[in-house]
Amino acid sequence: MAVERVLSGMRPTGSLHLGHYHGVLKNWVRLQHEHECLFFVADWHALTTHYDTPEVIEESVWEMVIDWLAAGVDPANATIFIQSRVPEHAELHTLLSMITPLSWLERVPTYKDQQERLSSKDLSTYGFLGYPLLQSADILIYKATQVPVGEDQIPHIEFTREIARRFNHIYGKEPGFEEKAEAAIRKLGNKRSALYEEMRNAYQETGDEEALMAARAMIEEQQGLSLGDKERLLGYLEGGGKIILIEPEYKLTPASKMPGLDGQKMSKSYNNTISLRESPDAVAKKIRTMPTDPARIRRTDPGDPAKCPVWQLHEVYSDDARKEWVQTGCKSAGIGCIECKQPVIDAVLEELKPIQERAAQYAEDPTLVKNVVAEGCERARKLARETMREVREAMGLNYS
Ligand code: SF4
């Protein structure tokens, strides 16, 4: 099977908290063992909404990478880089902007939503309107096949697919495409060429998706074919031109269930977070002072966990026996709230301990982190350059 390439980024706009850990980082740590992964600091994206506070971005970049590494993202398994250190993203963004209808950008649902949500900022900027296209450039430049997203980001991936399709449609028609594709088929050898033709017919005549998938896998696995021939065969398979930019798939990640200290979703804007590098004393204090079921005014008043934010944390951290202890103890006033909170404090501290130990090692040695990022940028840039070479050639910009 062809190797999946996963791309994901995060905006550097402040210190990371348990919501990021449960919602994104644990997923990244798992993905890095399953696929080729590229994780990037989306500093240009941060500027689309924080253009007037660049100092926050600058401060957060390195701290964020430390948090990633501390959470278990491993540079031996994943490429970690900073978006602005790979300026090819900007070049592809500019080139794609030439073929992007304005209406496609205006209809991206997050455009209006975010403008309303962040109404204190003036987001009637060119950069903000274009950020889904910048995101498309981020994805397409690495030919990423999988992008982990939450439900609200699915339209962005659909948009990226449309852009890739439009690009391939306009620029994938090199002179003599059919002859070159036929020549590439012959390079597969007798048996495989026949199989390719058979699967191509099955897809084009009856829309057989399985045949399409099998043919794609066969091409990807084929040894000794040049990249150009592979792209021709992939394009010819679907009846189009050469496929230069790959349409990514989205990988839906369940929305983070991590509740904040007030029972709402954990988020910096609600001021209800526990950051990954919060001191144990501060963590304990924050949880001890969490609001509980307002009906439990006195220790002897029974309560209802369903009305208490502490219960939501038990749902994340406690096993069945502990949950049963909370349910019975709360409803019968058999336990007090401080008693009920202690196992949550212990569990959060236990979760944070190894993260904080690793973070301390990285924080002590900034060169280590800088080296990880420098190597990641180099690896990312190599991939980006390859795509840009093809893009420039297809768009007639390959002057020599
Ligand atoms: S006993 Fe636990 S679940 Fe019940 S109100 Fe107190 S903190 Fe909340």
* Domains present along the chain, CATH in parentheses: 5-172+245-256+367-394 (3.40.50.620), 177-237 (no CATH), 277-364 (1.10.240.10)
Distance CA 170, CA 286 (A): 57
Residues 6+ apart with CB under 8 A from 335: 325, 326, 329
Residue 308 CA, closest ligand 1 atom number: 8
For residue 144 and ligand 1, the question of a CB distance below 6 A is answered with: no
CA angle 370, 371, 373 (to 5 degrees): 65
Residues of the chain with pLDDT under 70: 1-2
Distance 343 CA to ligand 1 centre (A): 12
Ligand 1 within 6 A of CB of 337: yes
State the pLDDT at residue 1. 44
Residue 298 Cα to ligand 1 midpoint, Å, equals 12
- 322 CA → ligand 1 middle, Å: 13
The closest-lying atom of ligand 1 relative to the alpha carbon of residue 309 is 8
Q: Is 344 in the pocket of ligand 1 (CB under 6 A)?
A: no
Dist CA 323 CA 342 (whole Å): 13
Q: Is the C-beta atom of 330 inside 6 A of ligand 1?
A: yes
Contact 212, 237 (CB under 8 A): yes
Residue 132 Cβ inside 6 Å of ligand 1? The answer reads no
Q: Is ligand 1 within 6 A of the CB of residue 292? A: yes
Local structure of residue 121 (DSSP, 8 states)? S
325 CB within 6 A, ligand 1:
no
- Cβ contacts of 128 within 8 Å, gap of 6 or more: 48, 49, 111, 114, 115
295 CA closest ligand 1 atom index: 5
Terminal-to-terminal C-alpha distance of the chain = 38
59 touches 29 (CB < 8 A): no
Span 333-349, pLDDT tens digits? 999 999 999 999 999 99
User: Cβ(347) to ligand 1 under 6 A?
Assistant: no
Best of 311, 315, 339 to mutate for ligand 1, by most ligand atoms within 8 A of CB?
Answer: 311
- How far apart are the CA of 337 and the centre of ligand 1, in A? 5
Of 304, 310, 316, best ligand 1 pocket probe by most atoms within 8 Å of the beta carbon:
310
Ligand 1: residue whose CA is nearest its atom 4: 330
Cα 291 to ligand 1 centre (Å): 9
Tens of pLDDT, residue by residue over 147-163, are 999 888 999 999 999 99
**Is ligand 1 within 6 A of the CB of residue 311?**
yes
Alpha helices (runs of H) in the chain, residue ranges in sequence order: 18-20, 26-34, 43-50, 54-71, 88-97, 102-106, 109-117, 126-129, 131-140, 154-171, 177-186, 190-206, 209-221, 227-237, 280-288, 309-317, 320-331, 337-364, 366-394
Question: Phi then psi for 319, rounded to 5 degrees?
Answer: -80, 180
| Centroid of ligand 1 to alpha carbon of 305 (angstroms) | 6
Most distant pair of Cα atoms in the chain: their distance: 85
The pLDDT value recorded for residue 2 is 53
